[in-house]
Chain A
Amino acid sequence: MKKRSLLSVALILAMMFSLCSCGTTPADEGEAEDDVITITFGSPWWGESGRDVLWQGFAESFHEAYPQYKLEGIYIPYADFNDKMKTLVAAKEEPTIFYLQEYNFYQWLEDGYLAPIDECFDVSAVYDDLAVKESQDLVLHDGQYYGLVVETCPYSGLIYNKELFEANGVELPQNAEEYLELAKSLTNADGSQYGTIAANTSDNLNYIMQASMPYIMGFGGRIADEDGNFTVNQPEFVEGVEYYVELATLCSPAFTEYSTQRSVFFEGKVAMVSDGGYFIDWAAGENESLASNLDVAVLPMEDPATPTDLTYFGLSANATEEEKEAVGAFLSWWCTPEVQQAWIESCGYPVTMASAASEEYRAANEWYAVYENIAAYGIGLAVPGHEADSISIRNTVAEYIVECIEKTDADVQSIMDACKAELDAEFSS
């Protein structure tokens, strides 16, 4: 009995030692890790369908090009990005570089999240070759750049399903009225087909603003004028909201989360949507046959202004010198033509470098020219005169737009008057 026990213990020990010898020893690991500087990148892209694979590939390619550096992804969902970043920064656990949107820039700069990107990367060396220089200039503060532009995404591209258009014998609309009438006529009461999709629930206020502002701006509506006076109850804004309410309640899956509405689009049941070029690559990932039937035109609104999401690489204020070196190497690598061409395939609108849109890319994606052209009318999402409060202001406006959608028979003017009163009380000094 005693012998058997001893034998068992010996066998277990032998197995443990043999297992240990299979892997690298801690000493080896330590040596390997000591040589590599890891930087983290916090972004929603690490978890987005299609882009997740692309970014894993980017991380591997970067490590191959610069074996002494490693890029590690931190997935932070888009819907919770701002909230999560706040808690990460407060806990001093923020990523080395992160997805920085223009409308967050002012608040995050004020709150001390950001270090100048100039500290690790010479922006002036690539400035002349940037796709949209105006986008880069928006993060210039006190003579220093606080980010490198990653993408300039205008939302007023009218993505339409050619197959549904042909099946219904309809042509592209030429103005806002025709667009609304067409969207109504292409919507079947039984839910088998919709004219468009339009965010209409309060679960994600970002989507409300993303989906509604192309139309509201198309009527000339702005959240605030250049002097920072709130203009959400001006006739142009109200007309835009009324228009959007019709789209959101009569022409799209009513009171359905926007993510679900997008799934309906990917099933090929929706004729049109106003969105950025990334949507086409996304559609290709979800439904390849649908993607081949999609084309893009300019949203036929009177005012060509388009809400534009400007995204940058932001650098953490707590990054160490070593990490800054690695970030510098990453950004240099990022600007190379191969990487840029891979990135624009996933975006479909201007990215960092102008060289990304090669002749081959343009020939294969003729619709890219639409996004390139409307980018010239791009207006950032920050609220003029209230840049640091942009997120809160946009959320407040979104809540009132949801109220207009929910109370379909309510007077939009009076709801937007209340919105203006709240914005004045909260944000006007």
Chain B
Amino acid sequence: MTNQKRIKLVNWSMLLPSIALLFFVFGLPLIKNIQLSLTDAKFIEKADFIALENYVKLLTREDFYNALRVMLIYTVCYTIGIFVVGFATSLLLEHNPLRRGKSFFRTMYVLSYAVPDIVTALIFTWIFNYNYGVVNYFLAQIGIIQAPINWLNSSEQALYTIVLIEIWRQFPLHTLVIYAGFQEVPGELYESAEIDGAGGLRKFFSITIPHLSQILSTLLILTIIWSFKRFAMIWSLTKGGPSGATETVVIQIYKNAFVDNKMGLACATGVVMLIITLLIVRLYMKVIKRSSE
């Protein structure tokens, strides 16, 4: 055996435990999932092979397309919203108008991230309650609304209310990542730009954004993938209702599996969801590759 071959063998033998672990943790469940998606599996009874019937059923179901549409709207609104809030709060942190208490504000920002989803959902169920909610109360007090708004139980508002709550819950991560990005921008660039007469906006778009582009693109892809997977908050607040208005694909998978007892169909939905996520991951890898180049 040549020396090079021996090194290769040692390398592979060192990688083997990780590969085996990955196979057991990700590979096996994935294979099992694909296998179940080709059956009429329920929970514990024996499942029969039905080939692609679940996929045909899924792709001809109106509620699947509704779930995709809801997921898309949710992702777009959530991503835009969280970036706007993340930028605004990190800029506030960076250019603290009070000029002091930076660590205090940093801690305050992170508070919502520390609250568990279920607790957040319970709090906001009350805050947005139709009859007794503090939001409707204040809006009525200052004369903005005449009748209470049905925040969480109307098919028109529910999804956007959830997006709002999710942004509140998740924005600290974006704030901290963007804020950390700000620290990487060399101060001299701003000084030179100031000498050249550049204003705040000009500096932001010509210096800050280009320097943050790598961080932002990675954060963007991750935000999209995370938003696809969000479950706990939606389930706790509306369970996908009313009338499927907040039923994302993940909620539909849960309902198919645990409410309607259709494990095969749930697994088929999971496989389709996986393909969509893989496409996003592919995009993510491209971004990473471009960044490293």
Binding site for B on A (CB under 8 A): 82-83, 86-87, 89-90, 107, 110-113, 191, 200-205, 253-257, 260, 391-392, 395, 399-400, 402-403, 406-407
Contact = CB atoms under 8 A, between A and B. Distances in A.
A417 to B, nearest CB: 15
B260 interface: yes
Contacts of B258: 83, 86-87
Contacts, number: 85
A399 B45 contact: no
A87 B239 CA distance: 18
Nearest to B126: A260
Contact of A201 (B42, B153, B240): B153
Nearest to A107: B261
B243 A82 contact: no
A204 B42 CA distance: 23
Interface in B91-116: none
B255 to A, nearest CB: 8
Given A87-B258, A391-B259, 12 more contacts: A82-B259, A111-B45, A201-B241, A202-B243, A255-B153, A256-B132, A260-B132, A392-B261, A395-B259, A402-B242, A403-B243, A406-B154
Contacts of A83: 258-259
A115 B108 CA distance: 55
A90 B47 CA distance: 14
A260 to B, nearest CB: 8
Contact of B43 (A86, A400, A407): A86
B153 A200 contact: yes
Interface in B150-183: 150, 152-155
User: How many interface residues does chain B have, given as a range?
Assistant: 20 to 34
B59 to A, nearest CB: 15
Nearest to A406: B242
8 contacts: A89-B43, A107-B261, A201-B153, A202-B238, A202-B240, A260-B132, A400-B243, A402-B243
Contact of B241 (A89, A113, A191, A399): A399
Given A86-B258, A203-B239, A392-B259, A399 B131 contact: no
Contacts of A253: 130-131
B144 interface: no
B44 A90 contact: yes
A110 B244 CA distance: 29
Contacts of B130: 253-256
A406 B44 contact: no
A260 B71 CA distance: 30
Interface string B189-219: 0000000000000000000000000000000
Contacts of B45: 110-112
B129 interface: yes
B32 to A, nearest CB: 13
B33 interface: no
Interface string B251-286: 000000011110000000000000000000000000
Kindly list the 5 A-B residue pairs having the minimum CB-CB distance in the complex, ordered from nearest: A202-B241, A255-B130, A403-B243, A255-B153, A83-B258
Main secondary structure of the interface of B (DSSP, over half): loop
Contacts of B132: 256, 260
Contacts of A406: 150, 153-155, 242-243
B125 interface: yes
Nearest to A201: B153
A86 B261 contact: yes
B167 to A, nearest CB: 22
Given A112-B45, A406-B154, A406-B243, A203 B131 contact: no
Contacts of B152: 201, 255
Contacts of B238: 202-203
A391 B43 CA distance: 15
A202 B242 contact: yes
B216 to A, nearest CB: 37
A342 to B, nearest CB: 34
A399 B243 contact: yes
B62 to A, nearest CB: 9
B129 A256 contact: yes
B260 A392 contact: yes
A395 B63 CA distance: 15
Contact of B150 (A112, A255, A257): A255
A202 B239 contact: yes
Contacts of B150: 254-255, 406
- Most chain A beta-carbon contacts within 10 A, residue among B132, B150, B153, B259: B153
A399 B155 CA distance: 12
Contacts of A255: 130-131, 150, 152-154
Q: Which of A191, A202, A204, A253 lies at the interface centre, i.e. has the most chain B CB atoms within 10 A of its CB?
A: A202
Contacts of B242: 201-202, 399, 402-403, 406
Contacts of B43: 86, 89-90, 111
Nearest to A92: B44
B152 to A, nearest CB: 8
Contacts of B153: 200-202, 255, 406
B131 A254 contact: yes
B215 to A, nearest CB: 38
Nearest to B238: A202
Contacts of B260: 391-392, 395
Contact of A89 (B44, B154, B155, B239): B44
B121 to A, nearest CB: 10
B42 A399 contact: no
A204 B241 CA distance: 10
A399 B252 CA distance: 14
Contacts of B125: 257
A274 B212 CA distance: 61
Which of B125, B129, B237, B242 has the most C-beta atoms of chain A within 10 angstroms of its own C-beta?
Answer: B242
A83 B266 CA distance: 14
A117 B78 CA distance: 52
A90 B130 CA distance: 39
Contacts of B241: 201-203, 205, 399, 402
B243 to A, nearest CB: 4
A82 to B, nearest CB: 7
Contacts of A256: 129-132
A403 B244 CA distance: 9
Contacts of A391: 259-261
Nearest to A89: B44
Nearest to B236: A203
